[in-house]
Amino acid sequence: QVQLVESGGGLVQPGGPLRLSCAASGRTFSLYNVGWFRQAPGKEREMVAAIRWSRESTYYVDTVKGRFTISRDNAKDTVYLQMNSLKPEDTAVYYCAADRVRFTGANYAYWGQGTQVTVSS
């Protein structure tokens, strides 16, 4: 069992930065792939970024490429999502998720409770 807790959400102006954190506890988190997902009101949940347990590869959805960066510190059992040049359309609840096998796709085994990100002036 892996427990995930997101933090770092909030209200930010368009063009501003925000860094989300996903802290894990439980089993060996360093062996898990981690994904960041988001869900805006009235929209389906989408994967935003993902990182393999080995950090050998990352994934970004096209709409965030060049603006978002996913990284992990396995010594701290934490994965980060650095979000720059935020746009109003980035407004959503952001979730982190972990899985031993899955990398891209939505069927991750473990999920956090989510953190709200609102981009507005």
Residue-wise pLDDT tens digits, 21-39:
999 987 788 899 999 999 9
Q: What pLDDT, on the 0 to 100 scale, is given for residue 56?
A: 83
Q: What pLDDT, on the 0 to 100 scale, is given for residue 30?
A: 87
Q: What pLDDT, on the 0 to 100 scale, is given for residue 27?
A: 73
DSSP class per residue in 89-113: GG-EEEEEEEESS--SSS--SEE--
Q: What pLDDT, on the 0 to 100 scale, is given for residue 54?
A: 85
The list of the chain residues with pLDDT below 50 reads none
**64: its two tokens:** 């965030």
**Are 37 and 106 in contact, with CB atoms under 8 Å apart?**
yes
**89: its two tokens:** 């359309």
Q: What pLDDT, on the 0 to 100 scale, is given for residue 16?
A: 98
Q: HSE, CB side, 13 Å, CA atoms: give it for residue 27.
A: 10
Q: What pLDDT, on the 0 to 100 scale, is given for residue 95?
A: 98
**75: its two tokens:** 């010594």
